[in-house]
Structure 1
Amino acid sequence: MLSDDTYIARSLWLLGEWDVALAVLGPDADPELRAEIAVDRWFFRIEDHDEAEQAVAALDPGSPTAHLLTARLAYSRLLFRHNPRADDRAVAEAGYRAAVEGGDEKQRGWAEYHWAVLLDNIDEDSAGALPRYERALEIATRSGDGYFESYIIRHLAPHKEPAERLAMLRRSLHLRAALGARPQTLAAQALLAENLPDNDPERAELMRTFHPGAEELHIGWLMSEH
């Protein structure tokens, strides 16, 4: 059973209230939860990288969560060009591989997904990425995890034909909205808008909708790219 602080922190995290979520966690809170929230805050805001790295460093270095979060930090430094380190590419792949090999099914699924994103976005290796996306999607579908599915199909969509691409982007958006995952919903609105024609009324409405939310939550890459 979740403690009250854990439940509140998870609820705030889902809303993109990362600072408050971390503040409500007491000194005895699950360090993995604290690290996951800190890494998520860094990824969306592109702020507080050092705090995220410190939170990950506090974990058991051999745990699947530590491997996965260490890899995500390395990947994000490459993606955002934020003081990337010479070994970030190698560290990211090694972390994902360790999480795939040592985690439970859900952790393996997330590691497969993040590994695919590394191959897709950093290496531009779609042939290597697609099988990992598909393996992750099998796990998400089998477990009925709509939140996880929304992440995978968001990244699978660009590899599909236009009609299927838009259908997947809309499903990702609807899954996130139904779960109340606000930062992810805003990101889904932005990506769907990006894939619609310039003169499409839905595109204009999506642009009007996500911009204020992105500014309120300080989502750096949504404010800078759109």
Structure 2
Amino acid sequence: MVAHNAYIARRLQLLGEWDAALAVLAPDDEPELRAEIAVDRWFFRIEGHEEAEKAVAAVDPASPTAHLLTGRLAYSRLLFRREPRADDRAVAEAGYRAAIESGDEKTRAWAEYHWAVLLDNIDEDPAGALPLYESALGVATKSGDGYFESYIIRHLAPHKEPAERLAMLRRSLNLRAALGARPQAIAAQALLADNLPDNDPERAELMRMVRPGVEELHIGWLLSEE
């Protein structure tokens, strides 16, 4: 039953039904999955930070998952400017370094990706970020993990020339749509629209399509762009 509930929770998470996904899990079951979903919900909605932090605290603190999620929470407070703490920058990097040292290949690659995003978005250090993106992308493509690839190329795209940038953004969107990852697909549609010329009809069409999903899932950082 626990495995069955975990499967249902994962499917609901993919749809952006984070509250329902958490409700499926018993309080003491699958602490790592519960923490991942709670952090995911915080990242998209910018709501429920306290619950996310409590969920991460319930995970074995020595585990790669705990290191990675602790880093992500610290990074998110900096990114969203939601009560950032003085040590958030250091905590984020330390979490990613620890996950790289203690995790399997895929976990290490996810930690490299998140560390690259920290360097890129917070430090504005693309020279430091790009090798980490490329390393993570190698693992994603080797393993055939389209979901992971969609995240990496979304962040690599802004560093490319316009034609390649749009191609990468379209691929990220298509990978997410094919996997049924609804909040990620909506975010990819919004970013693609933002990178198209103002007078491009596709831009206007994407913006019209995105709005209902943004409002339904309450994707906080897209709602704030209204």
**Which category describes the TM-score, using the shorter chain as reference length?**
over 0.9
Moved over 4 A (4+): none
In structure 2, what is the Cα distance between the partners aligned to 1:105 and 1:167?
Answer: 27
Match runs of 1:1-226 below 5 Å: 3-226=3-226
- Cα RMSD (Å): 1.0
Aligned residue identity for 1:88: D
Asked if the contact 2:2/2:29 (under 8 Å) is kept, the reply is no
SS at match of 1:196: coil
Instruction: Compute the displacement of 1:3 (Å).
Output: 1.8
SS at match of 2:178: helix
In structure 2, what is the Cα distance between the partners aligned to 1:43 and 1:36?
Answer: 11
In structure 1, what is the Cα distance between the partners aligned to 2:27 and 2:208?
Answer: 41
Segments of structure 1 that go 5 or more residues without pairing to the other structure are none
SS at match of 2:224: helix
In structure 2, what is the Cα distance between the partners aligned to 1:81 and 1:28?
Answer: 31
Instruction: Compute the displacement of 1:2 (Å).
Output: 7.2
Instruction: Compute the displacement of 1:28 (Å).
Output: 4.0
Q: Give the TM-score normalised by structure 2.
A: 0.98
Instruction: Compute the displacement of 1:27 (Å).
Output: 3.2
In structure 2, what is the Cα distance between the partners aligned to 1:136 and 1:42?
Answer: 24
Aligned length: 226
Segments of structure 2 that go 5 or more residues without pairing to the other structure are none
In structure 2, what is the Cα distance between the partners aligned to 1:133 and 1:123?
Answer: 15
Which is further off, 175-184 or 1-10? Answer: 1-10
In structure 2, what is the Cα distance between the partners aligned to 1:87 and 1:154?
Answer: 28
Identity level (%): 83
In structure 2, what is the Cα distance between the partners aligned to 1:2 and 1:135?
Answer: 34
Aligned residue identity for 1:10: R
